Amino acid sequence: MIREDMGFLVILSTAPDLETARKIASELVSRRLAACVNLAPGIESIYRWQGAVESSQEVLLIIKTSAEKHDQTLKALTELHPYDTPEGIAIPISSGLEKYLSWLSGSLGEDCDSLG
């Protein structure tokens, strides 16, 4: 079902290793800033850093949260992250299974009735 302005986001970030990614994910879920964080190890990132093209093995964090908790989540991500400039980009969720979105809302400590 497609719904306008559902109020949920996916935030993408990367971490240098699985241990760091697990620590960040566990803390975000414990603080109810994320309902779920998927960890995808084994990605390779190619990027420009301090004038040079770099490459590194990283772990992708796929963070599910609400628009309401966006700022708090990014603040916590910055606080928990070892990188000077961690990735933190948000993508709005425009569609999803109602039962999953209700679970997501409840996991964040929000009112499930807001889903309609």
> How many domains, the chain?
1
- Cβ atoms < 10 Å from Cβ of 74: 19
Q: How far apart are CA 81 and CA 47, in angstroms?
A: 18
Residue 69 DSSP label: G
Domain-located, residue 2: no
Domain-located, residue 13: yes
| Average pLDDT along the chain, 116 residues, taken 10 residues at a time | 66 98 98 97 95 96 95 96 95 90 87 41
Domain-located, residue 3: no
Domain-located, residue 1: no
What's the pLDDT score for residue 110?
A: 55
What's the pLDDT score for residue 94?
A: 86
Question: Domain containing 72: what range?
Answer: 8-111
Q: How far apart are CA 94 and CA 96, in angstroms?
A: 7
Q: What is the CATH number of the domain that holds 69?
A: 3.30.70.120
Domain-located, residue 27: yes
Domain-located, residue 72: yes
